[in-house]
Amino acid sequence: MSYKGEGISPLFFGLNFSLKNVMLEQIANSISRYIGKTVSITNLQQLSGGSINQVSCISLDNGSKYFLKTQVGAVQTDIFQIEHDSLLLLAESKAIRVPVPLVYGDEFLVMEYIQNGSKATDWQEQLGRSLALLHQQSEHGLFGFHCNNYLGTSPQINTWKEDWLSFWAENRLEPQLKLLSELLGLEDPLIKKGYQLLERLDSWLDSIAEPAVLLHGDLWSGNAMADQKGNPVIYDPACYYGHREAEFGMMRMFGGFGEKCEAAYMEIWPFSDRYEERFRLYQLYHELNHLHLFGHAYYSTSMASLNALQ
């Protein structure tokens, strides 16, 4: 028997996905196979939760702790395999720390437990330099990923493309506009301006000659923290191989990453001309996705970016 439920928070069982003893058994058995020793889950503490996933800390009878991520609501059976593979890629880059994944199932992902710490005084600079190193990881020159993945709950299309212009048009902006046109209608001003923008993407992206590099893909302040040494840790990726500047679209959208971060990045790998305009273009993708996921509150921000790119 590998589950001892006396330390499990009642809140855990009250959530709508209602993890049962059989699932905790599966998690404990998966960890046991991974480490080569039978262990039991003795305690579970909820750390955060939302409309998509919940993160908890599980304690084992051998004294170890791990992060446990579970789905809330409808189960997407491939989401944790994709996140497992993405975290492994980031970890193998050795550019920046991530919670190393251990095991996964259709409904769970177990990762290295990292104690949250206070950010070092140079945390921003460390992050910028680490991202510049991460963005030197390139697979084979193509833009995309070995599978489609998710941005929140939205499908993110990663079909391989030979050029960045085609990738950003066909795999990023156009799918978002199609989803939104079903909600807003083809005659909505935002949809019209979005499709007009697609016809002019070459003015920003046709000259991109940089390699396709590994991106976190969903890097906002809520997906970054400090470990106990104060060093940067990033997590919850939506990885793909893309133009490095696309990373900063999401980073700029909600803030939390200052000028020191970008300056430190540019000391290693400066941005090319007109990067501010491209940052806004990359930010637009995330704004459109948030409009699709969370509703009209993001309409004005999406329209503001479209107007700025006229």
Residues taking part in catalysis: 218
What b/e readout covers 166-190, taking b as 16+ CB neighbours within 10 angstroms?
ebbbebbbebbbebbbeebeeeeeb
If you count them, how many residues does the chain have? 310
**What does the angle CA 84 – CA 120 – CA 257 come to, to the nearest 5 degrees?**
65
Q: How far apart are CA 27 and CA 266, in angstroms?
A: 43
CA dihedral 126, 131, 132, 136 (to 10 degrees): 140
**Phi first, then psi: what are they for 155, rounded to 5°?**
-65, 135
Map tokens 């004005």 to a residue.
Answer: 300
Surface-to-core class of residue 242, CB atoms within 10 Å of its CB (0-12 exposed, 13-18 middle, 19+ buried)? buried
Among candidates 249, 240, 55, 17, which has minimal Cα distance to 134? 240
CA dihedral 124, 278, 148, 111 (to 10 degrees): 0
